Structure 1
C-alpha cells in the first residue's frame, strides 16, 4: 500500500543519527530516499565499533546502528569533491523534492551547492539543513554531535538526583529529537509548497533547539517563574508521594502517576490495604502530604516491599482513576501487552541478521500506513540503478564513472 509520501524524492547527505533518522522517517512514509555517501569516506556509522560502550558491530560485520537508522533507503556512492560528481548531483537536484544534509554548516556552500544555487536549479526544492549550535552566531561553524545538544540545551541537568553531576543520556536523545523535528519541518514545508504556488524553502534544525523543545514544558514554565534550574527529582522527598517510584517485594519497580492526589487518596488507600490512614491529617491534602512526604514515602516503601509487583498492579486496578504502571527495561518491551496489541514492534526477516524485531513508525496513519520496505543499503548498492533511473545514464557511462572513482 502506498504511503502518504509516495512519489516524493529525497536526497540525503548525512551521517551518524540526526540526518539519517530524519530521512528514515520520510522513507517510512513512502518517500524514495537516496542516501548519498562518499565512495572513499562513507557514513562513519557503518564502521563504529561501539555505541555508549556497547559493541555495535554484528557478527557478520554490519553495524547495528547504521542498519537501525537507514532503513527504507537506496544508496548512491558519489564523490561530491569531484567536478563530475557535483554535476551529477546538480542533475539529480532538478527533480528532487527534498535535500537533507547534516554536515558542518558551510560544507555544501564550499562545494558550490548552497541553498541559493540549488533552488535556482529547482525552485520547488526543500533544503533541510542541520547544525549543532544553529546557523547564526560565532559558534555556527563548529562541529557537533548528540552530546552537544544535551549539554548546551540544558538536558544533562534534567536527570539524576539533586546532588548528582550532569548526566548524559546515552540513548541519543538530541539526535532522535532533532531528526523528528527535521522530519516535521520537511512535512510542513511540503504542505506549504502545495499551498504556496509550488515554491520550496530552506528549513533549519539544531541540536540545541531540538533538545530545548524536548524540555518545552520545563523551560516554558521555568522561564515564566525565573528558575535557573528545573528541580531534579529526589524520590525520597517527592512533594507528591503518589507521583513517585516504589520498589516492590520482587525487586521490580512501580510508578505511581496520581496527579490529583487529594481526589484519589481514599481509593488509593483502599487498594493498598491502608484504610487506617485514610483520615490521617498528615496526608489528607496535597499540602500536608508535601510537609510529611518523607513519612508517607517511608510508609509506602514498606508497604510495596511486602508483595510482588503483579499483586500491587491487580490491587490498584480494583479502584477507578488510579494512574500507575510498571517500570520496564528495553528487554521487557517484547512481551508488553500494549506494545504487542498496537504493533509498536514489528517482526522482520532482516537480510543480514535474520528474524528480528524493530520499532515501527511512531505515528499510525490508518489509510496510508508507514511501512518497512527495505533494509539499510550497502554502500553504493543502488548507484547504477539510481543514475540510470533518474538521469538515464548508460552502462558505458556508469563504467567510466566507476573507473574514475566518481561513483562506487
Structure 2
C-alpha cells in the first residue's frame, strides 16, 4: 500500500506550479483527478511545445505536459456553468481535497472555497495556489515565476557582479510553490481526518519567493546587510565555495565545514595552507578570498576536472560543471531508476525523470499522463452518477 493510497484529490490545475505539486502526490499514491475546461481543450500545458510526439493522441502529445502530469486522471468539466459546479460539488462529497492554481479572485467565482463546498463535505480541504493570494490589492493580478524572481530580489543575487540582473535557469518558484502546496494539502487532510472538519489552505508564488530569501532575509532584517552578487557563483560568506578553473574547464568546491578545507589542502598537495593564518578559518579565508582564488586556480588548473574528481570523491564536496545534456547522460543520473519510461496502452513510451520520493513501502508504477477527459465517465460513475446522468451532461457540453 503506497503512502497516500485512498486519498482522492480534485485538482483544477493548469500549466506548471499546481501540476508540479500534485505530481508529487500522485507519485506517492494519491488519486489525483485533473478537472479540465472542455472549451479550452483542457490544461493549456497540453499544447505547450516546441516538442511533441505526434504518434500519441492529439491531447497527449506535449512532452511539457507529460513531465508534469504522469499518473493522474483527467475529467473534462465546465465549471463556468452552474451545472458543472454542481457536478464538482457531488465529486467533492467523495473526495479529500479540492486544489486549484487559479488567479486569486477566481476560486470563489468557480465555487472552489471551503465555505462553498463544506455543505457537500465538511471534511474537505480546499487548497489554493495563486500568484499573490486571494486577499488584498493583488488578488486579481496574474502571476508567473519570473515576475516573482524579479520582485523578490532573486535577479539581484544571480549572475556575475558586472552583468545584468539574471533569473535562475529553472522555474524554481513554480516548483517550490507546488511542493509547498502539496505539503499544506496533506497537512490539511491529516487535520480533517483528526478533527472531522476541513479548511482552506493558501500559498502564493510571491510569498514562497519571499520566504525563500531565508537567511539572506534575516541578515537584512536584523543587520541591514545587503547581499550582493559574487564572482563565480560564490557563497556570500563561506570560502572556498565557488567555481575554480581546471585544465579543461571548471569545478565547483563547497568546503562548508572547516574539516573540508583541511582535506582539500591535503588532496591538492598544499597541506601548509590549512594552518596558514590567512586561510585557517572561514573569517580569514573570506578576508583573503580573492588571493585564495588565484592560488586555487593555479593548482587546480594543472589537472582536468575528471582527474580532480577522482581524488576529491567522498572526501571534498566537489562537483563537475556539466551542461544539462551531460548531466542527463551521465552514468550516475542514468542509474538507480532516476529516469523511467512510461507507456500507454499501445506501448508507446515517454522517457521522464522519476519522482525523487522513495519509500520502503511498494508504490505502483506511474501511468502515462492522461488523455484529455480520459477518465470522465469512470470518475463520475465512482462518485454516484448513473449512465443516464452522464449521457445528459455530455450531450449538454457540461462534461
Contact 2:24/2:182 (CA < 8 Å) preserved in 1? yes
Instruction: State how 1:216-365 maps to structure 2 within 5 Å.
Output: 216-227=214-225, 229-235=226-232, 241-251=239-249, 253-261=250-258, 263-274=259-270, 281-317=277-313, 321-334=315-328, 336=330, 339=333, 342-349=336-343, 354-365=348-359
Flag structure 2 segments of 5+ consecutive residues without an equivalent.
Answer: none
1:119 is the counterpart of 2:114: no
Q: Structure 2 CA distance, aligned partners of 1:141 and 1:316?
A: 52
1:186 is the counterpart of 2:185: yes
1:32 aligned residue = 31
1:406 aligned residue = 398
Contact 1:153/1:209 (CA < 8 Å) preserved in 2? no
- CA drift of 1:182 comes to 0.4
After alignment, is 91-100 or 104-113 more displaced? 104-113
- CA deviations 1:38-69 (Å, max 9, x no partner) are 111122111123xxxxx343444611111111
**Equivalenced residues, count:** 393
Q: Structure 2 CA distance, aligned partners of 1:283 and 1:11?
A: 56
Q: Structure 2 CA distance, aligned partners of 1:135 and 1:86?
A: 20
After alignment, is 107-116 or 142-151 more displaced? 107-116
Among 383, 393, 397, the residue aligned to 1:390: 383
Q: Describe the SS at the equivalent of 1:121.
A: coil
Instruction: State how 1:131-170 maps to structure 2 within 5 Å.
Output: 131-170=130-169
Q: Describe the SS at the equivalent of 1:384.
A: helix
Q: Structure 1 CA distance, aligned partners of 2:10 and 2:251?
A: 45
2:19 aligned residue = 20
CA distance 1:372–1:149, change in 2 (3 Å): farther
Q: Describe the SS at the equivalent of 1:127.
A: strand
Q: Structure 2 CA distance, aligned partners of 1:308 and 1:333?
A: 18
After alignment, is 56-65 or 175-184 more displaced? 56-65
TM-score between the two structures when normalised by the length of structure 1: 0.87
Flag structure 1 segments of 5+ consecutive residues without an equivalent.
Answer: 50-54
CA distance 1:355–1:80, change in 2 (3 Å): closer
- CA drift of 1:340 comes to 5.0
- CA drift of 1:209 comes to 1.4
1:208 aligned residue = 206
- CA drift of 1:241 comes to 4.5
Q: Describe the SS at the equivalent of 2:65.
A: helix
1:378 aligned residue = 371
- CA drift of 1:339 comes to 4.1
Q: Structure 2 CA distance, aligned partners of 1:27 and 1:265?
A: 42
Contact 2:234/2:243 (CA < 8 Å) preserved in 1? no
- CA drift of 1:289 comes to 3.1
Q: Describe the SS at the equivalent of 1:391.
A: coil
Q: Structure 2 CA distance, aligned partners of 1:349 and 1:26?
A: 20
TM-score between the two structures when normalised by the length of structure 2: 0.89
- CA drift of 1:92 comes to 1.0
Contact 1:132/1:148 (CA < 8 Å) preserved in 2? no
CA distance 1:247–1:226, change in 2 (3 Å): same
Contact 2:124/2:192 (CA < 8 Å) preserved in 1? no
- CA drift of 1:258 comes to 0.9
Computed over aligned residues only, the root mean square deviation of the Cα atoms, in angstroms, reads: 2.7
Q: Describe the SS at the equivalent of 1:16.
A: coil
Contact 1:255/1:327 (CA < 8 Å) preserved in 2? yes
- CA drift of 1:163 comes to 3.4
- CA drift of 1:132 comes to 0.8
Contact 1:146/1:207 (CA < 8 Å) preserved in 2? yes
CA distance 1:260–1:398, change in 2 (3 Å): closer
Q: Structure 2 CA distance, aligned partners of 1:104 and 1:285?
A: 49
1:52 aligned residue = none
